A = this chain, B = another copy of it.
């Protein structure tokens, strides 16, 4: 199989020296890539700036990703030829439009008008102001585009929440699976993830759930269940 794995967290620049980062080590994506390679598959690894990367391998291609735009470009090029897409990357929901001194704005300036403001972005914002504000805009939802580019590919989406009940996690995850037309969703909670443990549920289209306890178990389950889904 030809497998795309996106891994790590995107970074959206504020200026040339700072940005908004999504925290993700890429450890799970890296282990998953190794498991697919081990099983004899071809892997296209979309690697965010700080993501862990697998050792080089004949069947491995690594593509560097920075922000959401670069992710879309890579996915659009690679998804049509892929059999399986494991979209585990933590992607920025919002990206900066501008950053500006709060005190540079008139006292009665209405907050809703910020969207109409033309702010010339500096290469490096230097300021002595006590406060700054950043206006952010929503980014395109990459996960929802994938099935348009390749309806036959097996798509695995991921949902990470923080400190919610199991019921809420599973409900939110299933809704995301359906919205993205994904074949599977991996549901996990940051508070159930530590160095040696990674509690997760792998849920398929018919709500069949597999409970998993470690990154290695997750990687193995992804390989087995996507092979099964593709070849029947």
Contact = CB atoms under 8 A, between A and B. Distances in A.
B124 A131 contact: no
A137 to B, nearest CB: 6
Given A110-B110, A111-B114, A133-B135, A16 B190 contact: yes
Interface in A119-149: 123-124, 127-138
Nearest to A100: B111
A18 interface: yes
Contacts of A170: none
A101 to B, nearest CB: 10
Contact of A50 (B19, B50, B92): B50
Contact of A133 (B22, B92, B136): B136
Size range of the chain A interface in the assembly: 35 or more
A162 B17 contact: yes
Given A107-B110, A109-B112, A124-B161, 16 more contacts: A15-B162, A16-B23, A18-B20, A18-B92, A19-B21, A50-B50, A94-B132, A102-B112, A110-B110, A123-B163, A124-B190, A129-B138, A131-B135, A133-B136, A134-B134, A134-B136
Interface of A: 9, 11, 14-23, 50, 90, 92-94, 97, 99, 102, 105, 107-112, 114-115, 123-124, 127-138, 160-163, 190
